[in-house]
Structure 1
Amino acid sequence: MSDARPVGLFDSGVGGLTVSRQVFRLLPGESTIYFGDNAHVPYGPRTAEELVGFARDILAFLVSRGVKYVIFACNTNSSVSLSVVRNLFAVPMIGLIEPGAREAVRVSTGGRIGVIATEATIKSGAYQRALKSMDAGLAVFGQAAPRLVPLVEAGMAGTAESLAAVAEYGRPLKEAGIDTLILGCTHYLFLEKEFRQVLGPEVKLVDPAVATVKAAREEMARRGLLNDAGGPACHRYYVSGDPRVLQEAARCFLGCAIPPVEQVNLDGK
């Protein structure tokens, strides 16, 4: 039995497009609805109460649009809100933390894993707990990077400013001798070149999006939620702030034009 309903994804802004790209690659038959909460970006300095509130409102919106499954395309909300809102909605959902941690453990050669993420994600300890639960002998090094999301949202990836910021946050991790780094915020893949320049080829970079979408595909198959009917997929995009930011980021990162982005004010419902 085929299920043609869309898959929902959400993030604080443009970073979740890195997850959308993996959905297009690994689940090409699936339609999607993407919500970028760029009126509230960055999420890193937000309180847990605020983050849960944002997630609850966005999920209510996605459910109202008929999604069959939700991918938290945001590490911060995956680490803080998922365990709470999962009990409020019947729609199945998945976050980035456990799949990303599992992939890091798989590829690590020396058991020294770095996690670079927003302040809220690092403070939550979610990646640290997930990694240690998989291998108690791992050495885990966390690094908050509050300047990176604003740089990406401002379209400044690939600039001297972004390289300097990545160097500021990446050097302590390199000095700690990490062999693997989890890019614990979906925005950070926009800065992949900077990370590779700062850390060198000996440090493996883990993008949790790949492992997460693979895990989502497996779960959707178990639940009978895959769209096996064929035909073109339909992708819709919504934001809570300026639509032009997402439109431009999608053009640059996805390499193609996307349908018009619609602004939705969830605060005013």
Structure 2
Amino acid sequence: MKKQRIIGMFDSGVGGLTVMKEILEQLLDVRIVYFGDTARVPYGNRTQEELIRFGEEIVTFLIGQGAEVIVVACNSSSATALPVLRERFDVPMIGMIEPGARLAVEKTIAGRIGLIATETTVRSKAYSTAVSRALAKGCLPENLTLREAWQHGEHPIALTKAQGCPLFVPLIEAGLANSEQARGIARTYLAPLHAAGVDTLILGCTHYPFLAPVLREILGEDVLIIDPAWAVVRELETLLRHLDEWEQSGLIGSPSQAQGKNPWRARYFVSGDPELFRQVGNTLLQEPIGHVEQKALGE
């Protein structure tokens, strides 16, 4: 029987559960240790120095829990802290920015990509850079007309509008993702994207998929919503396959697998209130997430 890899995942709160759900549904041979930094949510207004420090504390904890791969299921941390974390830890890490940008490039039909994200992610311009990098590395749209036009220099493909949405995360963490309040705020945030004529919208925060029904209601059928979690699963699958190959070739050691007869699939840790996380998580996922343990990190 193929062994189950342990994936460490962290986010500022419940948002990363959207990524976790995609991974568990599509990759059967993994287990996830999830850390929600709910005592310090939101991350969207944090400095780079703070996000690096938070990331170091959490990654150290997740490695101590047996994590072989880290998924930084937070766009703010992916945009600002991930490069530093990769330098400081000898464990493979996957962020949200590059996979999401590549998927948007593949799916756009008019070349006008939009982004909603936290203010930290928007200020970083990480997604704009990632879209340009994806094109430079040969990632092309699936739409043949757009692809040929771009290759002949006749049509631009770029992130044309990025919108900060600072109120979305607090709404979702409060369990108000499907409220009239959320709809009113979403209309305000999406208006500039409508005006810019975007055809593809990247959800640049792992909390935002919980707002997908509201966003689709406002945007209509003409705008494709991109959840980077889909692309993260694809990248994680490739990475895990490489880990298997490296172990078989002896390039890396094989971790012990003390799983027992009924190994867990997910374990949850938070820095804040475990019961609040469980209640909001259960409501948003519409399924039980089980026991949540509190683990204080830093000050």
What TM-score comes out, normalization by structure 1 length? 0.94
How far residue 91 of structure 1 moved from its aligned partner, in angstroms, is 1.2
1:95 and 2:95 aligned: yes
Counterpart for residue 254 of structure 1: 285
Checking the alignment, whether the CA contact within 8 Å between 2:174 and 2:280 is kept in structure 1 is: no
How far, CA to CA, are the matches of 1:260 and 1:108 in structure 2? 40
Q: Please give the secondary structure, in 2, of the residue aligned with 1:78.
A: helix
1:199 and 2:219 aligned: yes
Unaligned runs of 5+ in 1: none
Counterpart for residue 6 of structure 1: 6
Counterpart for residue 241 of structure 2: 221
Structure with greater Cα Rg: 2
Q: Please give the secondary structure, in 2, of the residue aligned with 1:57.
A: helix
**Given the superposition, is the C-alpha separation of residues 3 and 89 from structure 1 closer, same or farther in structure 2, using an over 3 Å criterion?**
farther
Match of 1:145, as an amino acid? C
Checking the alignment, whether the CA contact within 8 Å between 2:131 and 2:158 is kept in structure 1 is: no
Match of 2:38, as an amino acid? N
Q: Please give the secondary structure, in 2, of the residue aligned with 1:91.
A: coil
How far, CA to CA, are the matches of 2:53 and 2:182 in structure 1? 30
How far residue 258 of structure 1 moved from its aligned partner, in angstroms, is 2.1
Deviations 1:111-159 (A, max 9, x none): 0000110000001110000112233732321111001000000111110
Counterpart for residue 243 of structure 1: 274
Unaligned runs of 5+ in 2: 137-155, 248-253
Counterpart for residue 110 of structure 1: 110
How far residue 250 of structure 1 moved from its aligned partner, in angstroms, is 2.5
Is the deviation greater in 64-73 or in 130-139? Answer: 130-139
Counterpart for residue 82 of structure 1: 82
Q: Please give the secondary structure, in 2, of the residue aligned with 1:31.
A: strand
How far, CA to CA, are the matches of 1:12 and 1:110 in structure 2? 33
How far, CA to CA, are the matches of 1:157 and 1:139 in structure 2? 29
Match of 2:277, as an amino acid? L
Counterpart for residue 298 of structure 2: 267
Q: Map 1:39-54 onto structure 2 (within 5 A).
A: 39-54=39-54
How far residue 234 of structure 1 moved from its aligned partner, in angstroms, is 2.7
| Alignment RMSD | 2.1
Match of 1:163, as an amino acid? R
1:178 and 2:198 aligned: yes
Aligned residues with identical type, % of pairs = 44
Match of 1:239, as an amino acid? V
How far, CA to CA, are the matches of 2:174 and 2:102 in structure 1? 31
Counterpart for residue 163 of structure 1: 183
How far, CA to CA, are the matches of 2:66 and 2:29 in structure 1? 17
Is the deviation greater in 222-231 or in 73-82? Answer: 222-231
Q: Report which structure shows greater RCO (CA 8 Å, sep ≥6).
A: 1
Q: Please give the secondary structure, in 1, of the residue aligned with 2:197.
A: coil
Counterpart for residue 142 of structure 2: none
How far, CA to CA, are the matches of 1:183 and 1:3 in structure 2? 33
Checking the alignment, whether the CA contact within 8 Å between 1:71 and 1:93 is kept in structure 2 is: yes
Counterpart for residue 127 of structure 2: 127
Match of 1:206, as an amino acid? I
Q: Flag as ranges the 4+ runs of structure 1 deviating above 4 A.
A: 225-233
1:151 and 2:159 aligned: no
Give aligned pairs, total. 268
Is the deviation greater in 211-220 or in 11-20? Answer: 211-220
Q: Please give the secondary structure, in 2, of the residue aligned with 1:9.
A: strand
Checking the alignment, whether the CA contact within 8 Å between 1:112 and 1:178 is kept in structure 2 is: yes
Which among 196, 200, 211 is matched to residue 231 of structure 2?
Answer: 211
Q: Please give the secondary structure, in 2, of the residue aligned with 1:46.
A: coil
Deviations 1:173-206 (A, max 9, x none): 0111000000000000110011111111100000
